[in-house]
Structure 1
Amino acid sequence: NQETIVDMKAVDNVMYSVKQAITVFNKNGENSARLVLFYNKNTAIKAIKGEVYNEVGKLMGKFSQSDFKDESAVQDFSLFEDSRIKHFLPLVNTYPYTVVYNYEIRFKQNLIIPDWTPKPANDIAVEKSTYTFICKPNEVLRIKAQHLANAEEKADEKQKSYTWKANNLPAVKPEPYSPLKHFYQACVKIAPQQFSYFKHQGSYNNWQELGKWYYTELLKDRQNLLPATVQTIKDLVKNEVDDKAKAKKIYEFMQEKTRYISIQIGIGGFQPYSAADVDRLGYGDCKALVNYMQSLLAVVGIESYYCVVEAGTQKVDLDAFYASMNQGNHVILCLPLKGDTTWLECTNQKIPFGFLSDFTDDRTVLACTKDGGKLLKTPKLTTQANLQVRKAELIIDATGNVSGTLQTNFSGSQYDNRQSVLYKSFTEQQKTLQEDYNVNNIRFDKIEYLQHKDINPKLTENLSVDIRNYATLNEGKMFFELNAFNIHNAISDSKNRILPVYINRGFTDIDTVTYHLPENVLPFIQPINKAFSNDFGSYESNAMLDGNKLKYYRKFVVKDGTYPANSYETFHKFMADVNIADHLKIILSLKK
């Protein structure tokens, strides 16, 4: 049970009150009983209290704010964060038990009103949940409610209120390959037209107006640079005539000069450090580094847009029809070069110029310009571009041991597959690759990486390997799996599926492996050809003998997209067939 009341008494005085009762049936649900509250200079926790009851409803204990742990919310890579958290988990080891929380928070702003989701997770059942929003009768609100009955509205000369209710929502098992929760989750989002935030006033009804406020209040006049830096940039690109070539040189200058550190201060963590501060200190967060890069480009007259994006490997668009400051967790830079729009990720000192990676590709973003906000789309890393291409030359000796070389090229979204390995020690690289390749008795004698940094970058991995006892010998036969390095796992079943099938990102894997066979192997095999396809992708593999060489080829394609719920069985079978084909063993006869 939960009751949430938001009372917007004024633009700088919003009271957020919650009463909730949570029953925990076993240890697996224990974390759902934990309460975590954030606060800072703009958010004050006014009161917390609660009780714990046993399975028959007998009071076991009470607690108050003094029982909560109080810690900094600073991340390991953060600097100057002023956010803190209070958190509490009852120390109960008999189940079931019920914890009741009552707390009240005051927000000194109304730009960000927390969204209400009556069912926060699949494994939580909801008996009853209500949400009431109260404000003055003349307040203009934009409200987005989805998968809920219409609100009950009340109004008089002093206030108006909206109340939503959700009852008897069962816990459900999560379904694999489901869409992101915000597509199907019941929720209410509210954005007042008039707002106050850290003593900054404003109003907006759409992304154009919000982007204008962003530019005017948060970004303008924060791009001044030291005269010496201005001259350095001019000298850096004086021999370049093409804006893109100039931008690339300036980007690499920025990467060399700066490093990323999270900084959550200023106007609620939304306003960047000034360009002069980043220039002097050599560090900044995403906002500061984008603002700095934008300032450097402006020195030579290259236009760019400061863009707010919801970053992460899961692709999330900003809602084109509902503008709010609750959306977006990262900032990138857009260069609207004539006929060649280019995007820059400014927090990664190693990433190639013009490459966004799967962290921010293929999603709607807000460009904040002097003319207001513009919704733009970042480029998509396609199924065809998300390539992993591997070629291997392997020698199998008469006892079944394997040695040889592998070369793998990673591009598109798969370019990041080995980024974490690049800068590790050789010992750490060996350990990581043993986990990634997952082949018994594999040893890496040589590990080499080559980066081809351009807008469509490629990473090449060169390995020398030894695999003891890869092939099995028995009764005059030699057995081994043709697909040594890229076996794809099957996926779990999903009976009585409700949600659509969602594949976030497509990819293409191509493997060519040549096995040099020992002299005591008879040069004969049954032809091996596998090929099947459907809406979800395609698979083909074949093997053939060429003298003492056994050549194996495999191509596996998975397509991104959203598919009907009843198609999951087809997808499940497709992936099961891939797994079976990947485990195919070759049987070779040995000379007597």
Structure 2
Amino acid sequence: MSERAGYQPYFYQLTIATILFDRKRSNTEALFMKRATAGLYQSVLTAALLLTISLPRPALNAPLGEQETARLVADAPGADEYPDAGALILYQEKNVSVAEDNTQVLEEQLLVKILKDRGRRFGDQKRMFDARTDSVEVLRARTWLPGGQTVPVEAKAINVITPPELTGAAIYADIKQKVISFGSIAPGVVIELVTRTISRPDTSAPLNLYPYWDVEVFRSDEPILEKIYDLEIPADFPEPRLFTGGGLEIAPDSADQESERPKAKHYRWEVRDEPMIHRIPYMPGTLAFAPFLLYSNVDSWEKLGSWLGAQFYPKAQPDAAIRAKVAELTAGSKTPADTVREIYLFVTTQVRNISLQLGLAGYAPTEAAKVFQNMYGHELDKAALLSAMLTAAGFENYPALSRADQVDLLEPSIPSAAQFSRVSIYVPGLFTDSTFANPLYPQTERHGLWLMPIAQYNRYAYYSRGQGARALVILPCGGTLCRIQEFPPEKSLSYSNASLELDAEGNLTGQFKTVTDGLFDAQARLALKDLTPRELEQFFRQATNSVGEGAEMQSDSLSDLRDLTAPASAGLSFSAPEVGVVQGEMMIVRLPQAPFEFAGLPYFPELKEREFDFVADGPFVLASEISLGLPEGWTVAYSPEDLSRSSQFGRWNIDCSISGGRLNFSRRLMLTSRQVKTYDYPDFKKFCESFTLPRYSLLLLEKKAAPGK
């Protein structure tokens, strides 16, 4: 296996499954987001576990015959039977074979019927691979027309390209993508693709270990009529560790399988009539509910950590140039925390991110010296550079693999790198997580740091997903599972302050200032950091308009969003006509909210009921304070009363008082739940809605009677 392909055949499965089965996820968080819970659906699920077989037969990975394929195409249901689907996966079979010399072969056959225009996406099939050690061969590619005729894919429509995200990154020139573009794509046609991927073993395998592992999902955004997964290994190889979720079970006819390799060990899983996934907001990842398979031939996390460490640590060594840069960066550092922060900020913000899935990138990074020279790298490469620079500064540090789930869904019984989707560097020590004195979270407990080398949109040392989850910390002597730090709700803060003046005609003037931390800080950077000056101007104008119709912006302010040590903050001063509606002797005023979208509720339970658990990015605190100058000659007839509510999901409170001609209004919501079960969702929805009731922002003013009346 190559250094980048020690996961084989994992990355092929990940690439295919990501394209077909989990379009919701992007970047490195595509497939392995949730662990399934059994028995959620009434679909027909079967699986087969096949052990030593001695009867010869055609190769396990032989594709369907012509007649059987033609029958499947002819009998395929249409859009009437699947009105919500864009396509129908008629048949998918994946056969993974591990040879005695540890060569791995993946053969896949795919039959997909296009039902609607959105199903045309299946007409471009893509397979990524490492050209140094792997090859992808197209055995059959054709389009079946409604009349039964077939149109083969032309040779010129099958191309090997450099993935667009790797353009200009010469160090990854061996990562290629084979693109198969089908012709005559329209509703009613069926595409058929048979491919073979061969992955040669790494002759310099660390610890003489040749790992194989995979995660395979048996449900997708389109319905599946039949899907089969076969694994074949030599008879004298140890049994792999197996885990299935979402109702995947052993099939009763598993012993009927045959192989042309006598006495090979076979494992088979199969599903039929699997319904499509109907996506809804804030739903868990696919592994939380779909049938899935997880396997690995590594028998302990310690051994996996040793294998990963043998590939990582030799590449994460500082050279003279790295040591010189560390000395330059930390010349003004007064504390160890300053040193770590300066090094991290350099790697995160100055070394360009390359988007490449962890599995496809491989588990051996590029040498840190080369990453420093090129000033770009994918997540693992940047982790190696960060580790090398921290080592040069004298800091103990360890790479760690983790998941990007909102809740911990690691399956501890299967030591497999396929369970992870991101890399961080853990620095033991007594640090605080922030240099910003959060007004609701002024001090933090001292702890080690989990540093994500590509987190260019997060405050220093903050991460929204993966908090409290288990990570594989890779030590020089092996690996161990540890819990990642979990932040309290106060760490994710949106705090808005407004000083407003209301005149007798209902015109409102004033200013808003919002300061953020944690989740809200990340939202602000994602929304604004990369905008052009003209786009920023438009953003502030839209924010002004949200205060009231006809509002005009007087001035605006925005913190330096490139500075990850400072909180993301924004300010706005404005004048808005007739925010208060005068009706005779009365004036109706709705107290305005913070005008910045990133400062509001990050998520809200809109749906009346849910099929899946409600899962979001974590606890937070939303707080605001308004000081409103009342117009002379008017008095308050109605204002929100002081209220508070508490539940298992959090608490909120509203306080309102009048003093010296000013109304002081504050409210605060703390949500403490990351995940809400479907049976708790109605109560969760009621709790959240109770905080946003219109009457809690309504103000009624009454004109004072003239003296003597």
Same fold (TM > 0.5) = yes
Q: Does 1:168 align with 2:249?
A: no
Q: Does 1:297 align with 2:393?
A: no
| Counterpart secondary structure, 1:357 | coil
| Counterpart secondary structure, 1:6 | strand
**Would you say the 8 A contact 1:22–1:33 is kept in 2?**
no
Q: Which amino acid aligns with 1:145?
A: T
Residue 210 of structure 1: aligned partner:
304
Residue 328 of structure 1: aligned partner:
420
In 2, the alpha carbon distance for the partners of 1:266 and 1:278 equals 19
Residue 199 of structure 1: aligned partner:
none
1:148 CA drift (Å): 0.4
Residue 273 of structure 1: aligned partner:
366
Q: Any residues of structure 2 matched to 1:188-337 within 5 Å, and which? A: 188-191=293-296, 193=297, 204-220=298-314, 222-226=316-320, 230=323, 233=326, 243-251=336-344, 258-262=350-354, 268-311=361-404, 314=406, 318-337=410-429
Residue 196 of structure 1: aligned partner:
none
Distance 1:324 1:65, change over 3 A: farther
Residue 234 of structure 2: aligned partner:
136
Q: Any residues of structure 2 matched to 1:177-196 within 5 Å, and which? A: 177-191=282-296, 193=297
Q: Does 1:106 align with 2:215?
A: no
**Would you say the 8 A contact 1:520–1:591 is kept in 2?**
yes
Q: Which amino acid aligns with 1:480?
A: V
- Write the deviation string for residues 148-197 of structure 1: whole angstroms up to 9, x where unpaired: 01253568744221111112222353354433221222111232x3xxxx
Distance 1:282 1:221, change over 3 A: closer
Q: Which amino acid aligns with 1:502?
A: V
Distance 1:150 1:289, change over 3 A: same
Residue 586 of structure 1: aligned partner:
699
**Would you say the 8 A contact 1:8–1:136 is kept in 2?**
yes
| Counterpart secondary structure, 2:447 | coil
In 1, the alpha carbon distance for the partners of 2:200 and 2:568 equals 49
| Counterpart secondary structure, 1:296 | helix
| Counterpart secondary structure, 1:569 | helix
Structure 1 stretch displaced more, 561-570 or 151-160: 151-160
Residue 492 of structure 1: aligned partner:
606
**Would you say the 8 A contact 1:383–1:507 is kept in 2?**
yes
Q: Any residues of structure 2 matched to 1:76-155 within 5 Å, and which? A: 79-80=169-170, 81=172, 82-88=174-180, 95-109=187-201, 111=211, 113-121=213-221, 124-140=222-238, 141-146=240-245, 147-150=247-250, 152=254
Q: Which amino acid aligns with 1:3?
A: E
Distance 1:32 1:549, change over 3 A: farther
Distance 1:567 1:225, change over 3 A: same
**Would you say the 8 A contact 2:507–2:579 is kept in 1?**
yes
Q: Does 1:37 align with 2:127?
A: yes
| Counterpart secondary structure, 1:522 | strand
Q: How many equivalent residue pairs? A: 573
In 1, the alpha carbon distance for the partners of 2:329 and 2:197 equals 52
In 1, the alpha carbon distance for the partners of 2:655 and 2:397 equals 49
1:369 CA drift (Å): 1.9
- Write the deviation string for residues 263-318 of structure 1: whole angstroms up to 9, x where unpaired: 86999543333233344444444333332332233234321112223347x45654
In 1, the alpha carbon distance for the partners of 2:175 and 2:309 equals 24
In 2, the alpha carbon distance for the partners of 1:348 and 1:451 equals 16
Structure 1 stretch displaced more, 500-509 or 542-551: 542-551
1:260 CA drift (Å): 2.2
Residue 449 of structure 2: aligned partner:
342
1:406 CA drift (Å): 1.5
Residue 46 of structure 1: aligned partner:
137
Distance 1:356 1:99, change over 3 A: same
**Would you say the 8 A contact 2:313–2:476 is kept in 1?**
no
Residue 81 of structure 2: aligned partner:
none
1:410 CA drift (Å): 0.9
Residue 201 of structure 1: aligned partner:
none
Distance 1:430 1:538, change over 3 A: farther
| Counterpart secondary structure, 1:214 | helix
Which of the numbers 570, 573, 580 marks the counterpart of 1:461? 570
Q: Does 1:478 align with 2:587?
A: yes
In 1, the alpha carbon distance for the partners of 2:300 and 2:403 equals 18
In 2, the alpha carbon distance for the partners of 1:221 and 1:172 equals 42
- What is the RMSD computed on CA atoms of the aligned residues? 3.7
Structure 1 stretch displaced more, 289-298 or 91-100: 91-100
Q: Which amino acid aligns with 2:478?
A: G
Q: Which amino acid aligns with 1:271?
A: A
**Would you say the 8 A contact 2:219–2:275 is kept in 1?**
no
Which of the numbers 151, 157, 179 marks the counterpart of 1:61? 151
**Would you say the 8 A contact 1:212–1:370 is kept in 2?**
yes
1:371 CA drift (Å): 0.9
- Write the deviation string for residues 244-270 of structure 1: whole angstroms up to 9, x where unpaired: 4543454456568x4223286999543
**Would you say the 8 A contact 2:354–2:376 is kept in 1?**
no
Structure 1 stretch displaced more, 16-25 or 60-69: 60-69
Question: What is the identity percentage for the equivalent residue pairs of Structure 1 and Structure 2?
Answer: 16
Q: Any residues of structure 2 matched to 1:302-451 within 5 Å, and which? A: 302-311=395-404, 314=406, 318-337=410-429, 340-347=447-454, 355-358=461-464, 361-420=467-526, 421-422=528-529, 424=531, 426-434=533-541, 438-441=546-549, 442-450=551-559
Distance 1:397 1:97, change over 3 A: farther
Structure 1 stretch displaced more, 529-538 or 409-418: 529-538
In 2, the alpha carbon distance for the partners of 1:267 and 1:93 equals 29
1:591 CA drift (Å): 5.7
Distance 1:349 1:572, change over 3 A: closer
**Would you say the 8 A contact 1:527–1:544 is kept in 2?**
no
In 1, the alpha carbon distance for the partners of 2:94 and 2:346 equals 50
Residue 24 of structure 1: aligned partner:
114
1:65 CA drift (Å): 5.4
- Write the deviation string for residues 218-268 of structure 1: whole angstroms up to 9, x where unpaired: 432541411x65467568768979644543454456568x42232869995
**Would you say the 8 A contact 2:117–2:186 is kept in 1?**
no
**Would you say the 8 A contact 1:16–1:106 is kept in 2?**
yes
Residue 75 of structure 2: aligned partner:
none
| Counterpart secondary structure, 2:244 | strand
Distance 1:468 1:86, change over 3 A: farther
Structure 1 stretch displaced more, 136-145 or 6-15: 6-15
Give the gaps of 5 or more residues in structure 1: 194-203
1:73 CA drift (Å): 1.3
Distance 1:241 1:65, change over 3 A: same
**Would you say the 8 A contact 1:259–1:284 is kept in 2?**
yes
Residue 73 of structure 1: aligned partner:
163
Distance 1:436 1:48, change over 3 A: farther
Q: Which amino acid aligns with 1:409?
A: V
| Counterpart secondary structure, 1:575 | helix
Q: Which amino acid aligns with 2:226?
A: K
**Would you say the 8 A contact 1:127–1:167 is kept in 2?**
yes
**Would you say the 8 A contact 2:295–2:414 is kept in 1?**
no
1:11 CA drift (Å): 4.9
1:393 CA drift (Å): 0.6
Between structures 1 and 2, the one with greater strand share: 1
